[in-house]
Structure 1
């Protein structure tokens, strides 16, 4: 009798989990925009803006909650330090919870909160410098759905990578 109850509980749990997965949407997309890295303290001729981009994917539990993972490339910061050219490239993997407020069938606003595992590699006179870590991220954005599978997204994300890093981007999102 105990074995029957245990088997019944396992089958019920698998049935609920299987039904939950069948009702959820997975999505993938890519964005491109302007990255700004606040790292010019003491650097002359500093260019702290570059093209940033990301590739992302997520799992929507419902129309209000999703989890999203992304590869983010913030581009390069460069300038001069004591007359020598220096540069640094910044990128990383992120994981965030995404809360969405649907305003109608096509348009919604969202917020994100999560973590980024980042890597910074130096170039020029800063060659050999390699730093990494994990820090917080948050963001705000909007999504417009053209169809049930295709959307355009615009967002601002802030990353606490030693210095402040911002990414303003526009991209596409595909649900499957």
Structure 2
């Protein structure tokens, strides 16, 4: 894993250097999203997500984000209660314009996530550090505001709580 992370970091620095040479508009951005994650028990819950990044050019950015996997409402007879958890990521984001205001993008990086459950008073935490990947589309409403829709994968499959697959819809603000 350390070799993979080191190699990914070197490749990222090389791409960032090349992107800076061709940069058209470096800028920072932040965003908010509603993320839908299915739980192991088959139910779904909408979770808040925050993200932000720095675009070196129109095609390359580095981004980080956090999603709060909310606590599930247990059934009265449930022995195991889903206490929620979180997911975080840092990734390189590659964007390709499709039309005047519509772009497609992909992200590749590292995710850290945690799910918490309790069974008969004993709390269990399931931690995972793994590969993060995403792809999506972005529509520019104005020069500084965009609407996004994406599929994300936070590491490996989880044994409890929210699954690793997440669909999110959000707003991105550039400055």
TM range, normalised to the smaller chain? 0.7 to 0.9
Pick from 125, 138, 141: which aligns with 2:136?
A: 141
Change (3 A) 1:152 1:102: same
Matching residue within 129, 148, 156 for 1:153: 148
Q: Which has the larger radius of gyration?
A: 1
Regions of 4+ moved over 6 Å: 19-22
Provide the rounded CA distance (Å) in 2 between the counterparts of 1:33 and 1:83: 25
Structure 1 gap ranges (5+): 1-18, 40-45
Normalised by the length of structure 1, the TM-score is 0.74
1:126 to 1:70, Cα distance in 2 relative to 1, 3 A: farther
The unaligned stretches of length 5 or more in structure 2 are 1-19
Over residues 31-74 of structure 1, what are the superposed CA-to-partner deviations in whole Å (9 max), with x where a residue is unaligned? 0031124x3xxxxxx24421122100011111111111001123
More strand by share: 1
> Number of residues paired by the alignment?
151
**Contact in 1 for aligned 2:87/2:154 (Cα 8 Å):** no
Give the superposed CA RMSD.
2.7
Aligned CA distance change for structure 1 residues 49 and 76 (closer, same or farther; 3 Å): farther
